Amino acid sequence: MSFTYQRRYTGPLKAVLLDWAGTTMDYGCYAPAVVFMEVFKRKNVPITMEEARGPMGAHKKVHIRQITTYDRVSKLWHEVYSRLPNEEDVEAMFQDFIPLQLNCLSEYADLIPGTLETVKAFRGKGLKIGSTTGYTGEMMGILLQEAKNRGYEPDSTVCATDVPAGRPEPWMCIQNAMNLGIYPMEAIVKIGDTLPDIEEGLNAGMWTIGLAKTGNEIGLTEREIETLRPESLQTKLQDAHHRMLKTGAHYVVDTIADTLPLLDLIESRLALGEKP
């Protein structure tokens, strides 16, 4: 008789990787969305907030490129310029995007409620804190200082510009693991508020937790959410949960403050030899 033997990790979690806008700061993920709208407006091709949010989580140049492929946007572009948008247009808009984003980042740098307490609890469990982002290094320089001023300082931060490609490819997650000196990948949990966040973690072989309420999937500030009728909020949350679960998230909760019990569940699954 022939047998195949497999090695499985059954130890504890070692790290969590957190997204930035919509996950730990900038409730509703507004900073990039409003700038994408302004960039296209300057090209006389106005886009909607929904269109601006569509590719959220990707490298910002990739984000712009993806918006130009939307049928409505490309048709409007053709009406204005008698041609479809090209890579030169994408690069020009990205160059417009950079200073506009740098100028407004500090306005959207408040931490999402529960971030400090949850990160403290993560550290109390012996976990390292990494982070990934679609922002450039220059942009993150501002946000890292703003976060530090507010009491939040991850052990590792990797930008899309630091690796060969951003989300949904896994390289930012893997670079974080290298920076933190942590393996195997199943000992790490990726937490984020966008669908590319989920895909990034899955592609890296990590557990993934989606955040439905505070980020891009609903796209409203805390105050805006408070003004919603309960049934309207419930519908939006159900839709966001469904989209994230359909993308492959292992778990979906509303905010970062809701993630701690899930880590215990994941560790119980690891102890049984389960993998993401």
User: Do 93 and 204 fall within a single domain?
Assistant: no
Ramachandran assignment for 17, one of left (phi > 0), alpha (psi -120 to 50 degrees), beta (any other): beta
193 tagged catalytic: no
- CA dist 194 and 212 (Å) reads 8
How far apart are alpha carbons 118 and 94 in whole angstroms?
34
* Same domain flag for 20 and 55: no
Residues 101 and 35 sit within 8 Å (Cβ to Cβ): yes
Question: Is residue 123's pLDDT more than 90?
Answer: yes
Q: What is the pLDDT of residues 228-272, one digit of tens each?
A: 999 999 999 999 999 999 999 999 999 999 999 999 999 999 999
State whether 84 and 170 are in the same domain: no
Q: Strand order of the sheet with strand 251-253? A: 156-159, 128-133, 15-18, 188-192, 207-211, 251-253
Domain C-terminal end among 53, 88, 107:
107
Confidence of residue 31 (pLDDT cuts 50, 70, 90): confident
**Is residue 117 within 8 Å of residue 143, measured between CB atoms?**
no
Say whether both 37 and 138 belong to one domain: no
Residues 251 and 141 in one domain: yes
Residue 262 inside a domain? The answer is yes
Q: 19, 89, 193, 197: which one is catalytic?
A: 19
Residue 6 above 80 pLDDT? yes
Number of domains in the chain: 2
Residue 189: CATH number of its domain: 3.40.50.1000
15: enclosing H helix or E strand: strand 15-18
- Mean pLDDT over residues 130-136, rounded? 92
The answer to the question of residue 197 being in a domain is yes
41 among known catalytic residues: no
Phi, psi for 111 (deg, rounded to 5): -70, 145
Pair (214, 100) in one structural domain: no
Residue 94 sits in the same domain as residue 200 = no
Mean pLDDT to the nearest integer, 68-94: 95
Of the candidates 117, 129, 124, the one whose C-alpha atom is nearest the C-alpha of residue 264 is: 124
Separation between Cα atoms, residue 276 and residue 201, nearest integer Å:
10
- Are 64 and 150 members of one domain? no
Say yes or no to pLDDT of 1 above 80: no
User: Looking at 14, 43, 60, 190, which residue is catalytic?
Assistant: 60
β partners of residue 190: 17, 208
Structural domain of 170: 15-29+110-271
Q: State which of 107, 131, 151 marks the end of a domain.
A: 107
pLDDT band of residue 4 (cuts 50, 70, 90) is: confident
Domain boundary among 59, 91, 107: 107
53 in the same domain as 126: no
Report if residue 6 sits inside a domain.
no
Shared-domain flag, residues 81 and 147: no
Do 35 and 151 lie in one domain? The reply is no
* pLDDT, tens digit, 9 for 90 and up, residues 166-202: 899 999 999 999 999 999 999 999 999 999 999 999 9
Is 134 contained in some domain? yes
Residues 81 and 94 in one domain: yes
The number of residues making up the chain comes to 276
Does a structural domain hold residue 165? yes
Q: For the domain that residue 70 is a member of, what is the CATH number?
A: 1.10.150.240
Residue 72 lies in a domain: yes
